[in-house]
Amino acid sequence: MATIKHDRKICRECGCDLAPLGLKRGAIFCTPAHRKAWNNRRMIRGAELYDLLMADNYERSLRGEHKLLGLAHSLMRAYRDSDKHLRDGRKSWDAKEAIDRVPLAFGAEGDKR
């Protein structure tokens, strides 16, 4: 697994400047509460999308009736719009981190998570 480096100098959750807070080098949150809020939001959003995408791919009988992929896209759009409105435009995702974290291929035994 690749080491994830962060060169950010602002809190991912509230956007405050981390430099004057005297935090460890590489810190990405100003408080543990902000780290928890960030991770909880991502966990809830991820669970919702996971269920829709898995159902779209493996429960084909639901696909046409509920337009699951379109629903997932609408949900992602709502998440982005919420970020723009409630988080002053700060994204609640990090594509580079996700790409670094997810293996490119899994064996027959799955992802072992």
pTM for the full predicted model: 0.74
Q: What are phi and psi of 12, to 5 degrees?
A: -65, -30
Quick one: pLDDT at residue 113? 65
Quick one: pLDDT at residue 105? 64
Tens-binned pLDDT, residue by residue, of the chain (113 aa): 455 554 558 899 999 999 888 888 889 999 999 999 999 999 999 999 999 999 998 988 887 777 889 999 999 999 999 999 999 989 999 888 888 887 766 667 766 66
For the chain, the 3-state helix, strand and coil shares in percent, each to the nearest 5, are: 55, 5, 40
Quick one: pLDDT at residue 112? 67
Give the domain ranges of the chain: 31-91
